[in-house]
């Protein structure tokens, strides 16, 4: 029996994780669950999965959860705050940590899991964008393990992973090819981009996801974050990563070899596949995913990403090539910009402007510790807020 902490259990990835876990009760026990605001949903999950702990960031939501659980006779103990998140990620009784909190809020609990030498199922790509070098060093120093949940990285991992040694075989590898759906606005007239609304931007053609990553997909910042994520996970540089727009999301990513071979992983677009792969390793376990039906597939198509249409992707490549804290600033500014767009404060096309402005204004250094990176994240948020205010005033 393996015990798992699911951070962000009420979100899209969190719920998919619990769906897979529920299919294998004899293999997995739930140690802790966590959520930001959805006390009712978290209470339901606690009743179904009976974790030892449930964590919420603030006392108000935790009190609601505590009352709900008490009324239902649950034995789950409710804890509060970031420190508690770190505690349930690092507890001796935990084998696996699903890191599925969205945004920079996911960094410290993932860090705690890394310092405690856990196997981390990493959905929170922002951790690697903010702090990839420092984080991967911590993973290596403490004998922790990172299993990529992001579908593209999981596809590459599936191609490279050697089940006998547990190592990645990069022999003869030339590049990785990240596929991108291109999001909802691949065909939209560029002149209409300024009038894209939050409702339009959170609808994704192939995947059902949280609001922030859905907007990131529609700007293709998501692919930019994933390019940076891939560098850290697989020890690559920017020139070893290709991005190919593949609107059907059937090929989840590929690896190109020096002999001309390209190996791919395919499947129905459903996050339960990569989640189950990480949970079951080294075995394959049932994920409840509909089999890929080749006779019902439309043609698989491919095209080059258009950097004019998707300036966020270019900004991410630029930040990666610049190095230092540029990816950390990119990530923080993007979080502020997306939140402002979702509140209706700035236009869709302003998201890239806020990020670009912040990268120009915010001082870039080579932060070497997690605390320095958190300071940089805070400073970048201030730059981005100022950019949002300038755009609102204009
Ligand atoms: P989501 O918005 O659906 O869920 C986020 C979860 O985090 C929720 O449980 C929420 O309560 C919790 N949360 C939010 N803010 C928090 C805070 N400040 N403190 C503590 N908890 C907080 O998001 P999602 O789509 O499930 O994505 C989660 C992560 O996985 C993101 O980093 C995303 O980029 C990544 N990811 C998601 C998908 C997907 O298909 N949804 C695919 C690949 C990677
Ligand atoms: Mg992805």
Residue with CA at minimum distance from ligand 1 atom 43: 150
Taking the centre of ligand 2 as the mean of its atom positions, its distance from the CA of residue 130, in whole angstroms, is 17
* Segment (H or E) for 54: strand 53-56
pLDDT digit string, tens, across residues 305-320: 999 999 999 999 999 9
pLDDT digit string, tens, across residues 255-295: 999 999 999 999 999 999 999 999 999 999 999 999 999 99
Report the nearest atom of ligand 1 relative to the CA of 123. Answer: 30
Q: Which ligand is the nearest neighbour of the Cα of 252?
A: 2
Q: Is the CB of 8 under 6 A from ligand 1?
A: yes
**Terminal Cα distance for the chain, rounded:** 58
Residue with CA at minimum distance from ligand 1 atom 42: 150
pLDDT digit string, tens, across residues 61-70: 999 999 999 9
The pLDDT value recorded for residue 106 is 97
Q: Is the CB of 181 under 6 A from ligand 1?
A: no
The pLDDT value recorded for residue 166 is 86
Q: Does the model's pTM come out above 0.95?
A: yes
Taking the centre of ligand 1 as the mean of its atom positions, its distance from the CA of residue 14, in whole angstroms, is 8
The pLDDT value recorded for residue 189 is 97
Residue with CA at minimum distance from ligand 1 atom 22: 36
Taking the centre of ligand 1 as the mean of its atom positions, its distance from the CA of residue 215, in whole angstroms, is 13
Q: Which ligand is the nearest neighbour of the Cα of 10?
A: 1
Taking the centre of ligand 2 as the mean of its atom positions, its distance from the CA of residue 80, in whole angstroms, is 30
Q: Is the CB of 223 under 6 A from ligand 1?
A: no
pLDDT digit string, tens, across residues 144-170: 999 999 999 999 999 999 988 889 999
Q: Are 129 and 38 in contact (CB under 8 A)?
A: no
Residue with CA at minimum distance from ligand 1 atom 27: 102
DSSP 3-state helix, strand, coil percentages of the chain (rounded to 5)? 50, 15, 35
Question: Under 8 Å CB-to-CB from 303, ≥6 apart: which residues?
Answer: 182, 244, 245
Q: Is the CB of 81 under 6 A from ligand 1?
A: no
């Amino acid at each position: 029996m393996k015990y798992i902490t699911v951070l962000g259990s009420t979100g899209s990835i969190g719920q998919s994780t619990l769906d897979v876990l529920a299919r294998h009760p004899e293999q997995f026990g739930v140690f802790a669950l966590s959520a930001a605001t959805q006390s009712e949903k978290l209470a339901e999950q606690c009743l179904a999965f009976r974790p030892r702990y449930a964590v919420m960031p603030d006392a108000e939501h935790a009190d609601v959860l505590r009352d709900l659980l008490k009324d239902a006779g649950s034995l789950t103990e409710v804890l509060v705050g970031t420190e508690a998140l770190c505690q349930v990620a690092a507890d001796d009784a935990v084998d696996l940590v699903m890191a599925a909190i969205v945004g920079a809020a996911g960094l410290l609990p993932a860090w705690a899991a890394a310092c405690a030498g856990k196997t981390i199922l990493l959905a929170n790509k922002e951790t690697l964008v903010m702090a990839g070098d420092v984080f991967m060093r911590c993973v290596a120093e403490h004998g922790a393990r990172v299993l990529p949940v992001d579908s593209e990285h999981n596809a590459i991992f599936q191609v490279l992973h050697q089940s006998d040694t547990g190592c990645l075989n990069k022999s003869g590898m030339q590049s990785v090819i990240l596929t991108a759906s291109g999001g909802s606005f691949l065909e939209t007239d560029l002149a209409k981009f300024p009038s894209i609304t939050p409702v339009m931007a959170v609808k994704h053609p192939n995947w059902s996801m949280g609001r922030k990553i859905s907007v990131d997909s529609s700007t293709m910042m998501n692919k930019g974050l994933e390019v940076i994520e891939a560098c850290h996970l697989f020890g690559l540089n920017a020139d070893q990563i290709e991005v190919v727009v593949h609107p059907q999301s059937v090929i989840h990513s590929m690896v190109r070899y020096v002999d001309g071979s390209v190996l791919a992983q395919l499947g129905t677009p459903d996050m339960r596949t990569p989640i189950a792969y990480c949970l079951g390793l080294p075995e394959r376990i049932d994920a409840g995913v509909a089999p890929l039906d080749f006779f019902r597939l439309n043609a698989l198509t491919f095209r080059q990403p258009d950097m004019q249409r998707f300036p966020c992707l270019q900004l991410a490549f630029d930040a990666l090539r610049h190095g230092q804290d540029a990816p950390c600033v990119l990530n923080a500014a993007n979080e502020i910009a997306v939140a402002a767009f979702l509140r209706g404060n700035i236009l869709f096309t302003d998201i890239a402007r806020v990020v670009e402005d912040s990268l120009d204004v915010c001082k870039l250094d080579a932060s070497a510790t997690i605390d320095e990176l958190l300071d940089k994240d805070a400073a970048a948020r201030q730059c981005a807020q100022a950019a949002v205010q300038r755009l609102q005033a204009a």
